[in-house]
Structure 1
Amino acid sequence: MPDYRRARATGATWFFTVNLLERHGNTLLVDEIERLRTCLQVERARRPFAILAWVVLPEHMHWLWRLPPGDSDYSTRWRRIKTDFSRGLPRSERRSKVRQSRGERGIWQRRFWEHQIRDETDLQHHTDYIHFNPVKHGLVARTADWPHSSFAAHVERGVYAPDWATAPSLKVPGDR
């Protein structure tokens, strides 16, 4: 298996997708949303970063982060958030023999997906994608009805109208 090398750019803005290992029917992230919030707050206190947009769905989540100037280490942040989140949860998940031999939990997919934001258009596209995701996955008919995202804060700042991306169109403005 080739050695995966993550992109490095100091002070950059990044889009992330982070998944639970067992996705089908899993609701752990929304069931434990307060634990997740706490883990993010703790990590931001240890190693600051700005959160520009986010959504947490039952079994995966998307985030837009901006790292401080001179800092490119998002991997350590994600490792700590995932580890802290897993601590204290009952050990009831299925674990492969490989995970058992390494002493690993079976909660998270090992890797996450990252994309460095290139410009303002790319940032807007990914922000829209994040906020539309609960509608895309059929969890709600209106973006505003999903409680686990930054959408309401963006509405308060005038970035979105309260009825942005709602049924019946079920299409993000600007999508092809």
Structure 2
Amino acid sequence: MIRVRSYRSSCGELLLGDFQDRLCLCDWRYRRRREAVDRRLQRYLQADFEPGDSQLLQQTVAQLEQYFAGDRQVFSVPLRFAGSEFQQRVWQALVEIPYGERVSYLELAKRVGDANAVRAVAAANGANALSILVPCHRVVASDGALTGYAGGLRAKQYLLQLEQPIRQESLF
């Protein structure tokens, strides 16, 4: 069973899900590919969705609240990826992008070992079911432009701005 609950963030509604004490879902409720992501999770985990709550989901909410308040840069909840080996390599590379940094799809492809796999990397990035915790919002076009995001470009821009340090001007 994948236990699922909703969470309303400051930039959109998310669905959270846990499976065997690991977070497997933190994704935008109203994304374009909602059903495809849900079917993939059910197929890989061989489990059905059931509304509910758990200590892990509550911990996830608490960490998301800290993140949105600017008090958390790294998440510590255990994650469960549900995808192909290639997708999992891409998602692991996403986790390794530091808070406040941005990389291009080309750079991400290089990090997973194949500079020619930009489109495949972009597709895996788009299939990420653990948004924010697996920070696909930190991936941008080579020219720095914001490109597609499951939560919408407004949410992507919001998250990137949230992660920018506040620069204080010297008083002297």
TM-score by length of 1: 0.26
TM-score by length of 2: 0.26
Greater Rg over alpha carbons, structure: 1
